[in-house]
Structure 1
Amino acid sequence: MDVLLELTQGDILQLHNFYAKFQDSAPQIWNFLHSVLKWVETNSNLIKIYALNGQWFPDGTFIAILKFNCYEIYMHTMEKSCKRLVFALKHTKVIKWDIDTVIYALHSDLQPHVIKTLRELEIPICFVQDNSLWLNSADDGVLNIKSESLRLGADFYLGPLNESHANVINEIWPYRYEGSEEYVRTIIEQNGGIGIFRSNTAKQDELVAWVLKNGVGMLGLLQTKNEYKKMGLASWAVKAMCKKMLSENYIPMCTIALSNEASQKTFIKSGFKLFAKCCYIGIGTESSIAFDSEYDCGLTQLNC
């Protein structure tokens, strides 16, 4: 029997309730588990959560394997020494280290322990990308989407995304890969998204900007068509998504590369503040993993 055992839906609910006490110190984990509870009802094969001997208590230690965007690992623990997490990583056979993998948004407190463990296991690390977690705790004044509507005029309006928009979004996503349209479609189907449309009396209204809530419960795939940039549409979409997430009991969060000052400025305007540092770790060969260093750090593997 493996040291990592899969958690049931009931176990995940208990883990979710455990992290409710840590929304101030680990809001990204609250979001993730909040999202997972919805995903496992309809797409249980896309996300699996494991714990050492099936016991996440008393420190919330878990390792998740995500397959909605190829093969990614998401993990956390409240144990400062990370002993249980390290033991699980060293002894499990559940994780397929021999295929291209990305460890997703690893909190900086865990980073030295995990990297040391990977090196001891002689697992090939092809990159470590420094990143940051950003959180929005703004009030309704900052998230005033009505004022954005008045500024842009009646030609532009907010609307929900649906699966038919996946092709348009994927077509201009700089980090698309073979099969990524299905990934985008799945995210929209499960988590929805916010679009900004331009009215067009001659033909169907045009989708010109958008933002999604990704599989770990953060803002993702923020994009504006080139001809509509510099109009503040991204900020409007972000504010609208933040209001939607708050209404669904999420904490609006995203990840932004430390070097990406432009994205940081966009999110600061929408009420975001730096919460913590994190990193993305690529395992495998650089030639087979493409890394999006934009705010959302969508990680895609070109050969999946």
Structure 2
Amino acid sequence: MSVSLIEIGLPELQEYQRHFTKDWPKYCQEYYCLDNFINFLKSQPNIQNLKAYTLTQEKAKTEGVFLIVDRYQLFVGGLNNNTNGLVQRALEVLDWSKGLKCSSIPMRHAQALENVIKEKDLKIIFKDPTNLYYLKAEEALKLKVEPPRGFHFKTLDVKDAQLVNEAWPNRHLGSLYFIQRQIRLSVNVGLYADDTEELLAWCIRLQGGYLGALQVKESHKRRGFGSLVTREISHRIASLGQDVMALVNPLNTASCGMFDKLGFKVIDQCLWLRTEPTNGEFTWPEGE
């Protein structure tokens, strides 16, 4: 029987999200990924270049199989670990021609992803496993801390996006728009100097629901500011009644040590992988 992708919208995403409450926190990646995109669509129903799909097969709907393509990023979810082939089938019929950054893919879906990449002979730009650090909301609420004298916390302003993007090691053509959108639509925090209002450290919650773009200005490193903004954003997320997640490369011993110290626990791994475009170079321009 022929199987294809069908586009789904806000009602279906809300229905699918309920699937991932079982065996908590086993499916927290999918739950909070959907939660963020649901909130994005509630705030901005016609958000540009964002599509969500499932398969036409009824079984895919009952197991919550979804693909979300957000510009060049791909998010994958489903209850099953692909023993019935649904996730792999969905990935097989997806359009890979522009290249995709497979973001925070739960490791139980990694084999399906790698099978499709091999079948399609896609070229990989990078492939990185990351540890999924997790902290319950009630524990994250205890992380609340006052900034040191002379500094204050504040929600980032869109005008801060230029600095955040320039300091971000993962910046690329089109990433400024991404940072601007996340500042507008997601939980975030900045640490500012009282006297000059200079932004010195920051952290933004990314689409998958995890902490990201955690940076400290070069002039203010080694003062514990990274830990401060991590504590503050964790408290802000927990204040919404939500648990906190972060993805850290296991080779990044400094970040791993910080999350360990704050009480986060590694409960799983996620995969990051990017493929090259198949029809010539394609990049997302600024503002799209």
TM-based fold match above 0.5: yes
Secondary structure, in 3 states, of the residue corresponding to 2:105? strand
C-alpha displacement at 1:141, in angstroms? 7.4
- 8 Å CA contact 2:187–2:233 kept in 1: the answer is no
1:100 maps to what in 2? 99
**Letter of the structure 2 residue corresponding to residue 63 of structure 1:** L
Secondary structure, in 3 states, of the residue corresponding to 1:243? helix
Normalised to the residue count of structure 1, the TM-score between the two structures is: 0.83
User: Which residue, out of 48, 52, 56, partners 1:45?
Assistant: 48
User: Which residue, out of 66, 70, 80, partners 2:70?
Assistant: 66
For 1:54 and 1:162, locate their aligned partners in 2 and report how far apart those are by CA, in whole Å: 43
**Letter of the structure 2 residue corresponding to residue 280 of structure 1:** W
Secondary structure, in 3 states, of the residue corresponding to 1:73? strand
Please say which of residues 115-124 and 214-223 is displaced more in the overlay: 115-124
2:89 maps to what in 1? 87
1:284 aligns with 2:257: no
CA deviation string 1:86-106 (max 9, x = no partner)? 12222x2xx331222211122
1:120 maps to what in 2? 119
- 8 Å CA contact 1:23–1:30 kept in 2: the answer is no
1:293 maps to what in 2? none
C-alpha displacement at 1:212, in angstroms? 0.6
For 1:237 and 1:192, locate their aligned partners in 2 and report how far apart those are by CA, in whole Å: 12
1:145 aligns with 2:145: yes
**Letter of the structure 1 residue corresponding to residue 216 of structure 2:** T
For 1:40 and 1:89, locate their aligned partners in 2 and report how far apart those are by CA, in whole Å: 23
1:173 maps to what in 2? 168
C-alpha displacement at 1:130, in angstroms? 1.9
Q: Which runs of 5+ in 2 are unaligned?
A: none
- Summarize the alignment of residues 196-207 of structure 1 with structure 2, pairs less than 5 Å apart: 196-200=191-195, 204-207=196-199
For 1:18 and 1:45, locate their aligned partners in 2 and report how far apart those are by CA, in whole Å: 27
Change (3 A) 1:44 1:267: same
CA deviation string 1:228-253 (max 9, x = no partner)? 11111111111111111112233211
Change (3 A) 1:116 1:178: closer
- 8 Å CA contact 2:187–2:205 kept in 1: the answer is yes
For 1:134 and 1:217, locate their aligned partners in 2 and report how far apart those are by CA, in whole Å: 12
For 1:243 and 1:62, locate their aligned partners in 2 and report how far apart those are by CA, in whole Å: 30
2:24 maps to what in 1? 23
1:295 maps to what in 2? none
1:4 maps to what in 2? 5
2:35 maps to what in 1? 34
1:258 maps to what in 2? 250
**Letter of the structure 1 residue corresponding to residue 139 of structure 2:** D
2:259 maps to what in 1? 267
- 8 Å CA contact 1:134–1:253 kept in 2: the answer is yes
For 2:14 and 2:98, locate their aligned partners in 1 and report how far apart those are by CA, in whole Å: 30
Normalised to the residue count of structure 2, the TM-score between the two structures is: 0.88
Please say which of residues 218-227 and 248-257 is displaced more in the overlay: 248-257
Tell me how many residue pairs correspond in the alignment. 277
1:13 aligns with 2:26: no
**Letter of the structure 1 residue corresponding to residue 250 of structure 2:** L
- 8 Å CA contact 2:19–2:79 kept in 1: the answer is no
**Letter of the structure 1 residue corresponding to residue 182 of structure 2:** I
Please say which of residues 56-65 and 154-163 is displaced more in the overlay: 56-65
Secondary structure, in 3 states, of the residue corresponding to 1:20? coil
Over aligned residues, Cα RMSD in angstroms? 2.4
**Letter of the structure 2 residue corresponding to residue 114 of structure 1:** L
**Letter of the structure 2 residue corresponding to residue 159 of structure 1:** K
For 1:88 and 1:239, locate their aligned partners in 2 and report how far apart those are by CA, in whole Å: 38
For 1:141 and 1:18, locate their aligned partners in 2 and report how far apart those are by CA, in whole Å: 26
- 8 Å CA contact 1:50–1:62 kept in 2: the answer is yes
